[in-house]
Structure 1
Amino acid sequence: MSTSNETESTAPGWVIRPAAGTDWPAIWEILEPVVRAGETFTWDRDTTEEQARERWFKQPPGQTFVAAGQGELDGVILGTGELHANQGGGGSHVANAGYMVHPAHGGKGVARALCAYSLETARAAGFRAMQFNAVVESNVRAVGAWQSLGFEVLATIPEAFRHPRLGYVGLHLMYRRL
């Protein structure tokens, strides 16, 4: 499987493009508060910047990408995503991805656009499906966005996520064919 690093997608007010190394400070500015909050990602809340960079930046056939503002927000990184094979070997034809959006730009469709971009990029790279292994059930905006893009909840693992405010909540396994 291979993917072009030249793929870009545009939406109102932003362009989605592969991330460059120079995007890292803006990406970390998005990732750090999400990771520290511990409400939507299964990462350790004390993940260091170095660990986050190693985990977020993907090599082909995977890709790390950003939604970069245009117009009045020219160059501002609004959100970021990463795409990779969910498993190796016999499972390498199923993609997995994750997305984070800067809090100042939440609710504007950036995460949904990042997901749509990753679906298109995964399909072009030869993946046959996409699977999300751990969507926190209390993250209803994300669940709704992914369902609007054709994902279905295949299972919910009860109390599999320890939410810092809500206690134990379920994790959804979500899937869609490409």
Structure 2
Amino acid sequence: MLEPVFRSGETYAIDRDISGEDALAYWFGPERTVFVYEDGGRILGTYYIVRNQKGGGSHVCNCGYVTAEAARGKGTARAMLAHSLETAARLGFRAMQYNCVVSTNTRAVGIWQRAGFETVGRLPGAFRMPSGEEVDALVMYRRL
């Protein structure tokens, strides 16, 4: 599930030629708690939650989400978001922040906005698409 998303190079700031082993090491990285979303034994998505910063910023979490191709547009991302917001609050986080939301990922941007996230920063041209086009990256934030 991770491989097609990372290889596309359109939503994650990860090298497109990342090995399968390194992709899993990234997803299951230090301090990350990983969840899967499944229906009838089929894994439809996955997300991780981790503190966004250490020390004085440790009350804010960060999450990464991947939806299986077959599950896109069927509410999987919204369900994972709802679960992550509940989990974050239960773990004691006070806010959630996304550091690099690719502005052309309009489906994700819309889901996050409808869930109360605000764009608190715009990094002009900070993400290079596989075509070479540089698009904006958004910093999105929501208090819990």
Q: TM-score, normalised by structure 2?
A: 0.95
Please, which of 90, 93, 101 is the counterpart of residue 135 of structure 1?
Answer: 101
| Contact in 2 for aligned 1:58/1:64 (Cα 8 Å) | no
Task: Name the CA shift for 1:58/1:117 in 2 (closer, same or farther; >3 Å).
Answer: farther
- Stretches of structure 2 that go unaligned for 5 or more consecutive residues are none
- Asked whether 1:33 is paired with 2:12, we answer no
Residue in 2 aligned with 1:19? none
How far 1:58 moved relative to its partner? 5.0
Distance between the aligned counterparts of 1:117 and 1:138, measured in 2?
A: 25
Residue in 1 aligned with 2:36? 66
Percentage identity across aligned positions?
Answer: 53
- Asked whether 1:49 is paired with 2:41, we answer no
Q: Structure 1 stretches (4+) deviating beyond 2 angstroms?
A: none
How far 1:162 moved relative to its partner? 0.3
Please, which of 116, 129, 138 is the counterpart of residue 82 of structure 2?
Answer: 116
Residue in 2 aligned with 1:14? none
Please, which of 140, 157, 162 is the counterpart of residue 123 of structure 2?
Answer: 157
Q: TM-score, normalised by structure 1?
A: 0.78
Distance between the aligned counterparts of 2:42 and 2:25, measured in 1?
A: 22
Number of residue equivalences = 144
Residue in 1 aligned with 2:110? 144
- The code of the aligned residue for 2:103 comes to E
- Stretches of structure 1 that go unaligned for 5 or more consecutive residues are 1-29
Return 40-49 or 141-150, whichever deviates more: 40-49
What is the RMSD of the two structures over their aligned residues, measured on CA atoms?
1.3
Distance between the aligned counterparts of 1:44 and 1:112, measured in 2?
A: 26
Give a deviation string over 1:129-162, Cα, whole Å, max 9, x none. 0000000000000000001111010111000000
Return 88-97 or 51-60, whichever deviates more: 51-60
